[in-house]
Structures are given as structure tokens and as C-alpha cells.
């Protein structure tokens, strides 16, 4: 191999690139960027790629004037798919930016360039030329005998390939948003576009980072810019190995996918990695959570590593991991609009639209669609997407109705598959039709939407026509793939369409249904409705939705609304007050009264309501998002959630769980005698019983506990406590009532600051094993008794039974910390625990790559297992959006 061929292969000589440019002056050549040209010439090894040719493409000759060697380029950069729509092997559906990129170029001598293009290229297919190129590059790699040189060449080429791929993704994303090739390429080549300094100033150099933002906020573009910076840094020296992955392309462990991606660059254990994992919100929640936990373990195994993930809000990340990507400022939004040729952002009376116009995606759509002849001012985010789609269909020059059907079919297949769709699934001619819209891109032999929101948009439209597919009912993970399409469908649906989607979803997977409803409709005290007022049948619809939620969400929903179980027959009255809907619930029905919904006459006052509905009643009012026909599903769910949060905050009672009963008995007894401190001394049984007798006739009594906050109990519970004590339940041979768990057993001493410092190692481990094994039992019974239909979609409940494995580590500013994770167990056996205390260095227990682990301070209270179980339940209910607030701090 000549020196110049080596220089081209290692891609290190800028002189070679200048020489190529100079030699091709005056010749019609491809408009390649430097990174593409380096790859094309370097991987071809300065030889023609036509089989059997191998002619050198940079020749040396002796100059007659200077008597020195002169190099000249005799090779030609040939297109596989023609640059022009009518050229050899033309494909009008291929974006022009892709036509002038390394994957679409092949290096040939002049003779073979003419040969493959003769008769307008009919003698050689795209697939044949791609095969010629692949085989030639493989042959060049085999010929390089020096292993060190080969590794350096491969690493350099791999880094340039990463830059080219990143640029192509950005261009495809902006083309799908409606920008033409030129503008999309200009934005992709400007490293400032998409880099949000205010957000990135707090970005950690190592560890796990979740870049969180709603759709259209530009989080994927920001992640691409960070990836490009990582690649450029890797070209300069021995830095962490960069890689870009998309979540729906990974079907095994994350670590395995990362190792495969960085293999051409080096060994991750030596250098660490800088990974971008995009699209965590485009896969089911359980899989996303697994990837998050696998990333946490990976950065521990490979020091100096960082995994940056992109997701919409809602992923259960730990404190310090999430970095929010906020909306742009008004000035930033105007600057982007001016760059796209719009001097002003469009005005809208819609609050939703004004908020959307601070997100990059919607600014771009507004800029490219507002000059259309039939442009209408959007009133919702769905309107933006509809305008973008209609413009893309017209620009693609394809039959609109047929192509829309194809796009819906492609989205349907993509959601079902959980990733890109094989081109053959749609058909080659159909593939070309959808790609001409620029909304869809081809990757290898697969198709995917340039913007994930477009896949969800078209899948949502298909849901309105077809309903939820039968395959989705197989498991909660299968139906969760449809959560964003379902949310978009509900936002655009009429009342009858909402019924078709929501009734089976609420009945089968109420946890998924709650998440979808929360995502679909706007909410908040500042909600501003545009459009029609509430329809006359508002009460009946709200009643209908509430009547579906209550049995699906379980006995806890009844308890939240009625404060007692079993619930009485449901009698609801509704009345519209301006933009508010008032509801009346009657807790004590009259004899023979049937379940019904009552529409109260306009103008009725509260006295009319009391007379009409009977006693006792209470009233609840809220502003529904009545611009959306499906608002009753959200309004009724919000009503339940508000009360459920109060009930769960006071904690739920259990029947048949001895551990819960023992902790409740201990906490109530301690509160009755007003015992303070954390040493948990045994209690005198007679003193507790005497204190309890004073409250047996009360409706409700409240006590303040030093470690549990308020303890609330009814008179019947005090009577039951007295009976338990008199029968000797939990009373030890010494006649005293002891805590049902290990208590501090070390005396006060200097330097002991935390409760755990007063436990011996044996006692601390005993307390931890009791705490988690008992909490698992209580949590499982809470789910079974109060939320049985939600179990498949609650994070921890869906993993039970399991063995909760973990470590307890003393010390540090936070005191003693516990790290734990579930391990699959025998499905017929009860859940158990397996903890170790302070393992020696090098022998720490680490979670399996597929596990979801948690780490926090070891909790202590008068009812620690009960509190921990409730905190798990609260977290899981918040994960499906049934709760919105934080769990009470006393449980932590």
C-alpha cells in the first residue's frame, strides 16, 4: 500500500482531502462532507471497488518541470442511488442529504463508473453495488497485516461513522418535521442548534443522567449534540468510548448492546463509555425501568462512564439523576422562528398552543405550515401534527388517502413489534410511497418514523378506527406499548370513540388506563377551556365513567369516596356552574333506591340539592377539560385520586396479616401511653389497657407519636386492643408488651449519631431482614385486598413473589443505607429476603443486570414494615398516575 493510500486509510491526512478536492476541480462530483469522504477513500484503500479491478485511484507520476513526484486523483466518487431523480437507480423517496453521504457512495475507476451507469443503470441494482462495496472493504481490512495499524484505522473509521450517522439522524428528524434538505442540513451542520447551555451546565460527567422533557422539547437533538461532542473528544485522545443506541433496537441486556456498539473503539473496562440511549419513553415502562437499572450498574462496573438517557417525564429515576429540559424562553423561540424565516411566532388564543410554541418541534411545524394556502390557526397540539402530515402528503406527490392508510398500517406494525418494521412487511412500492412523504426513513432493510410522535400519532388514528388489537391484551407489557398512541387517540376522539377504547382498557388494565387518561387531557387549577360549554348530558357521562372506575380500581376507590366499605348504592347528582361541574354523592340511600344519575336543573342552589338528594351529602367540584369529549374519564378519575391520596396517607387497614396487626398494636399502644424516644422500651400491659378504655366510645381519636406522626384510631379498634391484651396476644412472659422487631441494644456513647448506631451488627441485620420480609407481606396483602385489579401494572407487585436481596452498609453522612433488588423466585413460594451487612471490599453484592434496585437510608419507626409497604404502594400508584403528590415524609 502506498503512503498516500495509508494516509487515506487512516483518515489522518487533511492534505489528502485537499488533494482530492483540487484534482476534482471542474469535474461533476458529489457534494460530500469531509467525514463522508474520509470514510469512502479510507475504507476503499485507494482502489476501485468493482470486483476484480483493484485499480489504484491516486496515481503518482514524475513531473517534467520539477523532476518530482506528483499525485493526482484518477478515481471517481460514484452514487449507488442517483443524486438526480431521473438518474441511474434513482429513488425519489430518498432524501437528497442521504444521496450525498458515505452509505450511498462507492469508489470506482472511471471505466467502471461508466460501466455501472450505462443505459441509465439498468444493468446493476442498488443491492449489487452495495454488495460490491461491502466485499471490497472487507478485502481491504483483511490485507492490512499490522494489527496495531488495523486497530487504529478501524477505530478512526468507526468514529467518523458515528458522526455521519448522528448527522443523518438529525437531518431525518428535521425533514420529518417539514424542513427541506438544505435547511435540515444547515441545522445539522451547526453545532449550536440543539445545544441547550442552561440545561447542560448541571450535567454530570459520570453516572446515569435522564434527560427528561415532553415530546417536541428537543431532548433527542440535545442528546445528539452531546454524542457528537463525545465522538470529537474520542478522536483527540484516550477518552471514554462513545456510542448511540435507541431503546427500541435493544432486545437483550443493555450492557451487551453497549459492548457490541463500542467494540471497534476499544475495551470499555479500560476507558469507560459515554453512551446516549434515546427513546426510553418509546418502550414499555417495565423494559425502560430495567434499562435504567442496568445503566446504574454499568457505570459502577466501568469507572468514568456516563449513560445519558432521554425520556418524557414519569420514569422512576433517583434523586440527582434527572435533568429536565424546560421549554424555550420566548426570546429563544423567536430566534429559532426567525432562523426558519418567520419574523414572529403565530398568535393563538389557546393556552395549549401558546405553551407548545415554546417547544422546538412546534416552532418548526408552525414555520413550515403557516404559509400554506389552507393554513388554519392550531387550537391544540394535535392540530400541529395534522397540519404537518397534510403538508407532507401534498409535498410527496402521492395519493393522500392511500398513503395515510399506509402510514397508519406502518405505525400499527411498529407499535406491535416494539421497534422498526421490516420493509417487506409493508411492500417495496408501498415503502417508496411512505418514504416520499419524508415522515418515514429507511434504516438498512427496516422502516421507522423520523419522529417518534408521528408513529404514535398514526397509531392513535388507527386505534380510533380499529380499536385496541387483541394482541395487546396478552400482558400489561403488551398493552403498555400502546399507551402514547392511546393518549393521542383519546385527545382527538369523540365520546363514543372514547367509550370504545376506555371501557375494555379500564376493565382489563386500569393501571394503564389511568396513565393514559392522565397523559391525554390537560389538567391543573389554571386550566382554560376553549370551545363549547358542557353538554346537557354531562352528568350522565361523568356518572358512567365513575361507575367504571370504581370497580376497576378496587375496594380502595370505594373507601376513598364513601369512607367505608361496602359502598352503598351510588346516587349522583351533577350541576353545571359556569365552567365548573359540581357533583353530589349521597352516602345513605333511601330504601329501594336504585343506582342512578340525576341531572339537577340549572340555577338550583345548595338547599335545592340537599332537598333533592337527601342526607347526608357532600359536594365536590372541578373544572373539566370539556374541550375534549373524553373529559369525564379524567374528571371522575381525578375525583377518586384526590380522595385516595388522603385515605392512603392515613394508611389502609388489613385483615388476616399478623405482622400488620402486631405493628399496629405496638404503635397504638405506644401512642396511648405517650412513650417517646427511639429506644422502644417494653410497655406495661395494664397501663396500655387502662388508657385504651378511655377511648372505646370515641368515633375517632388522634395521638401524636414521636416516630410515626399522628396515630388515628376508632373506638372499635381500642376495644379490640383491650381484648388482645387481655388474651395475652404479643404479651411476653415478663408480662410486658414488646416491639415486634429488633430494638436498639447498645448504650449511649460518644459518636453515636444515628438510630442504627445503637444496634449491634447482629441486631441491625435482624431488624433489616424483619423489615423487608414483613413489608413484602404487607405490601402484597395491600395490593390483594385494596387494589387487586392493579397488580399487573404496579412495579413491585408485578414482580412478586420474589426474593428481595440486598446489602446494609453503615457509615457516611446519610447514616446506614440499604440497597436491595428483587430476584425471581418460585412462583408457588412466598416472598423472602436475603441481606448481608457491610460486605468487605471486593465482595460487595451487585444486582443482576436485569434487576431494578433501590438505595436509600434504612427507615425506622414504630411500624416500620407497615410504613415501608405503604411507601412502595404509594410509589407504584404514582407510577401509574393514580397519585400525584409525594408520600408522607414520616414513612421515609
Secondary structure, 3-state, 465-493: HHCCCHHHHHCHHHHHCCHHHHHHHHHHC
Please state the φ and ψ torsions of residue 883, each to the nearest 5 degrees.
-125, 150
Which of 81-85, 481-485, 836-840 is the least confident region?
Answer: 836-840
More confident residue, 828 or 862: 862
**867 close to 859: Cβ distance less than 8 angstroms:** yes
Q: Is residue 276 part of a domain?
A: yes
In a shared domain, residues 285 and 245: yes
In a shared domain, residues 426 and 462: yes
The three three-digit cell numbers of residue 6, written as one number: 495509508
In a shared domain, residues 716 and 614: no
pLDDT the model gives residue 535: 66
- If you compute the radius of gyration of the chain from its CA atoms, what whole number of angstroms results? 33
Distance CA 736, CA 669 (A): 12
Distance CA 821, CA 851 (A): 6
Distance CA 472, CA 505 (A): 10
In a shared domain, residues 17 and 116: yes
For residue 339, CA distances in Å to 179, 195, 215, 373, 580 come to 12, 15, 22, 22, 43
Query: Is residue 546 over pLDDT 90?
Result: no
Q: Is residue 162 part of a domain?
A: no
Distance CA 576, CA 579 (A): 7
Query: Judging by beta carbons within 10 Å of its beta carbon (0-12, 13-18, 19+), is residue 635 exposed, middle or buried?
Result: buried
CB atoms within 10 A of CB 614: 15
Query: Is residue 8 over pLDDT 70?
Result: no
In a shared domain, residues 366 and 433: no
The three three-digit cell numbers of residue 662, written as one number: 402486631
Mind listing the pLDDT tens digit for each residue in 583-613? 655 544 444 444 444 444 444 343 443 444 4
More confident residue, 142 or 397: 142
CB atoms within 10 A of CB 593: 13
Q: Number of folded domains in the chain?
A: 7
* 207-212, strands of its sheet edge to edge: 241-246, 273-278, 306-311, 207-212, 322-324
The three three-digit cell numbers of residue 672, written as one number: 396511648
Query: Which residues are within 8 A (CB) of 556 and not within 5 positions of it... i.e. 6 or more apart?
Result: 644, 647, 648, 652, 786, 787
In a shared domain, residues 362 and 399: no
In a shared domain, residues 644 and 676: no
Q: Is residue 747 part of a domain?
A: no
Which of 11-20, 145-154, 284-293, 556-565 is the least confident region?
Answer: 11-20
Domain final residue pick, 692, 710, 740: 740
Distance CA 329, CA 519 (A): 24
In a shared domain, residues 195 and 318: yes
- The number of residues in the chain equals 892
In a shared domain, residues 557 and 490: no
Q: Residue 108 pairs with which residues in a beta bridge? A: 76
pLDDT the model gives residue 63: 57
How many degrees, rounded to 5, is the angle at CA 28 between CA 68 and CA 66? Answer: 10
The domain in which residue 341 lies consists of: 330-379
In a shared domain, residues 103 and 119: yes
pLDDT the model gives residue 247: 93
Mind listing the pLDDT tens digit for each residue in 43-77? 898 899 999 898 888 877 655 555 566 677 888 99
When mean pLDDT is compared over 311-315, 321-325, 527-531, the highest value belongs to: 321-325
Query: Is residue 446 over pLDDT 60?
Result: yes
Residue 451: its H or E element: none
Distance CA 819, CA 836 (A): 10
Mind listing the pLDDT tens digit for each residue in 282-314? 888 878 888 988 898 888 889 899 999 999 887
Please state the φ and ψ torsions of residue 455, each to the nearest 5 degrees.
-60, -45
Domain final residue pick, 324, 346, 367: 324
In a shared domain, residues 131 and 215: no
Confidence category of residue 439, pLDDT binned at 50, 70, 90: very high
Which of 9-13, 363-367, 697-701 is the least confident region?
Answer: 9-13
pLDDT the model gives residue 23: 53
Mind listing the pLDDT tens digit for each residue in 498-524? 999 999 999 999 999 999 999 998 775
Mind listing the pLDDT tens digit for each residue in 379-397? 788 888 998 998 888 887 7
The three three-digit cell numbers of residue 292, written as one number: 435504567
Q: Is residue 166 part of a domain?
A: no
pLDDT the model gives residue 721: 87
Q: Is residue 872 part of a domain?
A: yes
pLDDT the model gives residue 482: 94
Pairing of strands 832-837, 596-599: unpaired
Query: Is residue 679 over pLDDT 70?
Result: yes
Write down the mean pLDDT value for the chain: 82
Domain final residue pick, 324, 352, 370: 324
Mind listing the pLDDT tens digit for each residue in 228-261? 999 999 988 778 999 999 998 998 889 999 999 9
Q: Among candidates 276, 96, 110, which has minimal Cα distance to 168?
A: 96
Instruction: For the chain, give the percent of residues with pLDDT over 70.
Output: 82
Please state the φ and ψ torsions of residue 491, each to the nearest 5 degrees.
-65, -25
Query: Judging by beta carbons within 10 Å of its beta carbon (0-12, 13-18, 19+), is residue 195 exposed, middle or buried?
Result: middle
Q: Is residue 664 part of a domain?
A: yes
Mind listing the pLDDT tens digit for each residue in 704-743? 665 556 777 777 888 888 888 888 887 888 889 999 999 9
* 421-422, strands of its sheet edge to edge: 421-422, 446-449, 440-443
Query: Is residue 188 over pLDDT 60?
Result: yes
**284 close to 477: Cβ distance less than 8 angstroms:** yes
Q: Is residue 8 part of a domain?
A: yes
Query: Is residue 37 over pLDDT 70?
Result: yes
Q: At what angle do helices 555-562 and 538-553 cross, to 10 degrees?
A: 130
In a shared domain, residues 14 and 142: yes
Distance CA 7, CA 2 (A): 9
Query: Is residue 581 over pLDDT 80?
Result: no
Confidence category of residue 11, pLDDT binned at 50, 70, 90: very low
Q: Is residue 168 part of a domain?
A: no
Confidence category of residue 539, pLDDT binned at 50, 70, 90: confident
Q: Among candidates 12, 668, 132, which has minimal Cα distance to 140?
A: 132
Amino acid at each position: 500500500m502506498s503512503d498516500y493510500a495509508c494516509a487515506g486509510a487512516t483518515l489522518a491526512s487533511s492534505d489528502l482531502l485537499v488533494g482530492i478536492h483540487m484534482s476534482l476541480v471542474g469535474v461533476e462530483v458529489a457534494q460530500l462532507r469531509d467525514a463522508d469522504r474520509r470514510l469512502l477513500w479510507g475504507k476503499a484503500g485507494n482502489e476501485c471497488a468493482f470486483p476484480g479491478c483493484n485499480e489504484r485511484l491516486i496515481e503518482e507520476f514524475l513531473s517534467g518541470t520539477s523532476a518530482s513526484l506528483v499525485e493526482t486523483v484518477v478515481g471517481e466518487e460514484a452514487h449507488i442511488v442517483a443524486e438526480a431523480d431521473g438518474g441511474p437507480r434513482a429513488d425519489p423517496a430518498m432524501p437528497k442529504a442521504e444521496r450525498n453521504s458515505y452509505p450511498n457512495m462507492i469508489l470506482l475507476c472511471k471505466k467502471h463508473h461508466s460501466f455501472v451507469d450505462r443505459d441509465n443503470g439498468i444493468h446493476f441494482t442498488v443491492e449489487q453495488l452495495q454488495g460490491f462495496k461491502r466485499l471490497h472493504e472487507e478485502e481491504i481490512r483483511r490485507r492490512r497485516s499490522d494489527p496495531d495499524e488495523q486497530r487504529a484505522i478501524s477505530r478512526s473509521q468507526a468514529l467518523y461513522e458515528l458522526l455521519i450517522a448522528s448527522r443523518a439522524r438529525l437531518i431525518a428528524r428535521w425533514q420529518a418535521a417539514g424542513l427541506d434538505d438544505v435547511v435540515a442540513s444547515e441545522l445539522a451542520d451547526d453545532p449550536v442548534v440543539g445545544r441547550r447551555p442552561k440545561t447542560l451546565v448541571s450535567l454530570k460527567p459520570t453516572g446515569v443522567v435522564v434527560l427528561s422533557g415532553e415530546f417536541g422539547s428537543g431532548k433527542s437533538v440535545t442528546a445528539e449534540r452531546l454524542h457528537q461532542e463525545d465522538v470529537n473528544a474520542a478522536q483527540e485522545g484516550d477518552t471514554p468510548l462513545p456510542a448511540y443506541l435507541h431503546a427500541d433496537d435493544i432486545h437483550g441486556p443493555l450492557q451487551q448492546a453497549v459492548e457490541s456498539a463500542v467494540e471497534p473503539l476499544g475495551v470499555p473496562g479500560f476507558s469507560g463509555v459515554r453512551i446516549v440511549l434515546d427513546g426510553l419513553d418509546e418502550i414499555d415502562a417495565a423494559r425502560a425501568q430495567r434499562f435504567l437499572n442496568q445503566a446504574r450498574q454499568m457505570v459502577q462496573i466501568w469507572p468514568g462512564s456516563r449513560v445519558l438517557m432521554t425520556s418524557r417525564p414519569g420514569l422512576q429515576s433517583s434523586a440527582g439523576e434527572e435533568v429536565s429540559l424546560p421549554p424555550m424562553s420566548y426570546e429563544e423561540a423567536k430566534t429559532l422562528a426567525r432562523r426558519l424565516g418567520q419574523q414572529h411566532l403565530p398568535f393563538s388564543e389557546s393556552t395549549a398552543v401558546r405553551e407548545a410554541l415554546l417547544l422546538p418541534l412546534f416552532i418548526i411545524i408552525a414555520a413550515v405550515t403557516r404559509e400554506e394556502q389552507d393554513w388554519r390557526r392550531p387550537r391544540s397540539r394535535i392540530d400541529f401534527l395534522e397540519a404537518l402530515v397534510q403538508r407532507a402528503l401534498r409535498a410527496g406527490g402521492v395519493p393522500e388517502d392511500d398513503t395515510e392508510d399506509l402510514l397508519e398500517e406502518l405505525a400499527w406494525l411498529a407499535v406491535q413489534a416494539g421497534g422498526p418494521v421490516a420493509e417487506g412487511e409493508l411492500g417495496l412500492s408501498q415503502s417508496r410511497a411512505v418514504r416520499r412523504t419524508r415522515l418515514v426513513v429507511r434504516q438498512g432493510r427496516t422502516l421507522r418514523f423520523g419522529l417518534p410522535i408521528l408513529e404514535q400519532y398514526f397509531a392513535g388514528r388507527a386505534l380510533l378506527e380499529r380499536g385496541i388489537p387483541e394482541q395487546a391484551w396478552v400482558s400489561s407489557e403488551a398493552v403498555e406499548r400502546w399507551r402514547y398512541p392511546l393518549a393521542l387517540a383519546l385527545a382527538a376522539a369523540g365520546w363514543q370513540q372514547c367509550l370504545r377504547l376506555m371501557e375494555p382498557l379500564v376493565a382489563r388494565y386500569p393501571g394503564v388506563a389511568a396513565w393514559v387518561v392522565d397523559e391525554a387531557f390537560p389538567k391543573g387549577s389554571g386550566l382554560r377551556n376553549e370551545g363549547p360549554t358542557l353538554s346537557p348530558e354531562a352528568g350522565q357521562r361523568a356518572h358512567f365513567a365513575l361507575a367504571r372506575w370504581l370497580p376497576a380500581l378496587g375496594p380502595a376507590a370505594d373507601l376513598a369516596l364513601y369512607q367505608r366499605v361496602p359502598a352503598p348504592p351510588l346516587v349522583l347528582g351533577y350541576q353545571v356552574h359556569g365552567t365548573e361541574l359540581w357533583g353530589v354523592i349521597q352516602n345513605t340511600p333511601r330504601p329501594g333506591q336504585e343506582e342512578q344519575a340525576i341531572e339537577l336543573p340549572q340555577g338550583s342552589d345548595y338547599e335545592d340539592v340537599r332537598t333533592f338528594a337527601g342526607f347526608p351529602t357532600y359536594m365536590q367540584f372541578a373544572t373539566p377539560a370539556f374541550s375534549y369529549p373524553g373529559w369525564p374519564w379524567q374528571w371522575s378519575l381525578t375525583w377518586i385520586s384526590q380522595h385516595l391520596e388522603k385515605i392512603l396517607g392515613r394508611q389502609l387497614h388489613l385483615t388476616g396479616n399478623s405482622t400488620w396487626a402486631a405493628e399496629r398494636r405496638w404503635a397504638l399502644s405506644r401512642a396511648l401511653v405517650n412513650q417517646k424516644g427511639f429506644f422502644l422500651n417494653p410497655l406495661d400491659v395494664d397501663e396500655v389497657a387502662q388508657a385504651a378504655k378511655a377511648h372505646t366510645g370515641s368515633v375517632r381519636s388522634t395521638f401524636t407519636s414521636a416516630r410515626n406522626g399522628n396515630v388515628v384510631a376508632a373506638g372499635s379498634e381500642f376495644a379490640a386492643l383491650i381484648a388482645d391484651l387481655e388474651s395475652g396476644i404479643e404479651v411476653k412472659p415478663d408480662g410486658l408488651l414488646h416491639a415486634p422487631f429488633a430494638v436498639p441494644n447498645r448504650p449511649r456513647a460518644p459518636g453515636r449519631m444515628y438510630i442504627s448506631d445503637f444496634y449491634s451488627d447482629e441486631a441491625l441485620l435482624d431488624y433489616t431482614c424483619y423489615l423487608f420480609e414483613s413489608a413484602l407481606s404487607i405490601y402484597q396483602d395491600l395490593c390483594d385486598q385494596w387494589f387487586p385489579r392493579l397488580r399487573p401494572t404496579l412495579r413491585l407487585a408485578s414482580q412478586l413473589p420474589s426474593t428481595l436481596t440486598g446489602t446494609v452498609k453503615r457509615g457516611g453522612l446519610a447514616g446506614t443505607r440499604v440497597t436491595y433488588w428483587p430476584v425471581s423466585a418460585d412462583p408457588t413460594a412466598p416472598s423472602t429476603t436475603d441481606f448481608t451487612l457491610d460486605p468487605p471490599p471486593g465482595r460487595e453484592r451487585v444486582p443482576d443486570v436485569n434487576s431494578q434496585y433501590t438505595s436509600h437510608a434504612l427507615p425506622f419507626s414504630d411500624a416500620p414494615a407497615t410504613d415501608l409497604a405503604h411507601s412502595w404502594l404509594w410509589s407504584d400508584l404514582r407510577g401509574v398516575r393514580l397519585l400525584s403528590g409525594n408520600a408522607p415524609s414520616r414513612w421515609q
